[in-house]
Amino acid sequence: MTTVTQEAGAPFRAAPPSDAAIVTSGLTKRFRGGQVAVDALDLAVPRGSVYGFLGPNGSGKTTTIRMLLGLVSPTEGEHALLGLPLDQALPRVGALVEGPAFYPYLSGEANLRRFDAADPTASAATARERIGEALERVGLTAAAGKRFRNYSLGMRQRLAIAAALLGPRELLILDEPTNGLDPQGTREVRALVKEIAAGGTTVFVSSHLLAEVEQMCTHAAIMRTGKLVAQGTIASLSGGRAARIRVETPGPADAARVLTTLGLADVRADAYVSAELGGHAPEEINAVLVREGVAVRGLAVVRPSLEDVFVGLTGEGFDVDG
């Protein structure tokens, strides 16, 4: 998939592509009073991907997920999961929306038994086996008999993911799965998402943490105020912006002059002297700087991150910490 800038309303195909886990066309949610939470959203989520749905809080991510799962009705537009009508797709979809809700006085295993019993498609005959497999998959077998109120935040999120995995799932939708977690809990959930995806399940994960998406996902979409501003592979999103050469020197004015003379674009002199690298070789730039008498303390090629992409597309930034 290549990087794209969102344009409204491409026609929806009656038969979504077989390699797409999620397809939306013109998906829109307008609330009473005229507020548009999601505006003409066109998504294409490849099967087998870990797809980051990225945007600041309030950008429309949770509303989109609720529409995908049939929890709220769109005002306009269409969508399909796994290429199927929603009622046929949902048994193949696991979801965690707006945090886990469990009985605090019950054990993790007992909570999962109640989740499983509430699923009309689940077989009671295989419940024990499936619950055991789900707990093992998220690394909670040893804590299965522990009361939920004594679980750490990371364990609670893993139990919620286990609840979403009680049956075989082709698609897993997670809404802010690392929200509020400490670094250890965040690492646990990140590793679990990668493991689930390695088993062939498509994972669609919303987040407002740029660094988290960059570490965990193969693809991403960037939302801003209800609109999709870009989507594609992580590599294509970052690769769409120019790499920069960064020079650390006690003579920034002289370094900036040399870079300008070499024809480098967008020369900046602040804490470092930097410019767009273009087709120049870094070692050649270093040689010219030294030849011109510029003392070079450090030289690096800086590749654009998702944060750079987002700021470039929207003029705004948001949380980058994982």
The string of pLDDT tens digits covering residues 90-107 is 989 999 887 668 999 999
Confidence of residue 315 (pLDDT cuts 50, 70, 90): low
Least confident window among 10-24, 48-62, 110-124, 155-169: 10-24
Pairing status of strand 76-81 against strand 227-233: unpaired
Residues of CATH 3.40.50.300 domain(s) within the chain? 20-238
CA distance 63 to 42: 14
Is pLDDT above 60 for 12?
Answer: no
Calculate the alpha carbon distances from 107 to 132, 143, 245 in Å. Answer: 13, 8, 55
Sequence-ordered list of residues with C-beta below 8 angstroms from that of 154, at least 6 positions apart, any chain: 181, 182, 184, 185, 186, 188, 189
Contact status, residue 203 vs residue 193, Cβ threshold 8 Å: yes
Of 168, 165, 142, 167, nearest in space to 155 by CA: 142
Over residues 229-251, the pLDDT tens digits come to 889 888 778 665 667 899 999 99
Mean pLDDT taken over the chain: 85
31 alpha carbon, distance to own chain's centre: 25
Contact status, residue 53 vs residue 173, Cβ threshold 8 Å: no
Over residues 191-234, the pLDDT tens digits come to 889 989 998 999 999 988 777 788 889 999 998 889 998 898 88
- What region does 321 belong to: left with phi over 0, alpha with psi -120 to 50, or beta? beta
Superfamily (CATH H level) for 20-238: P-loop containing nucleotide triphosphate hydrolases (3.40.50.300)
97 alpha carbon, distance to own chain's centre: 14
CA distance 97 to 132: 23
Is pLDDT above 80 for 55?
Answer: yes
Of 294, 300, 282, 284, nearest in space to 252 by CA: 294
Confidence of residue 314 (pLDDT cuts 50, 70, 90): low
CA distance 25 to 74: 11
Predicted pLDDT at 234: 83
Residues of CATH 3.30.70.100 domain(s) within the chain? 242-303
CATH 3.30.70.100 at 242-303, yes or no: yes
Cα angle, residue 66 at apex, residues 36 and 116 outer, rounded to 5°: 170
- The structure tokens listed for 294 are 């510029």
Confidence of residue 319 (pLDDT cuts 50, 70, 90): low
**Token pair 């199927």 in the structure block, residue:** 84
Predicted pLDDT at 317: 53
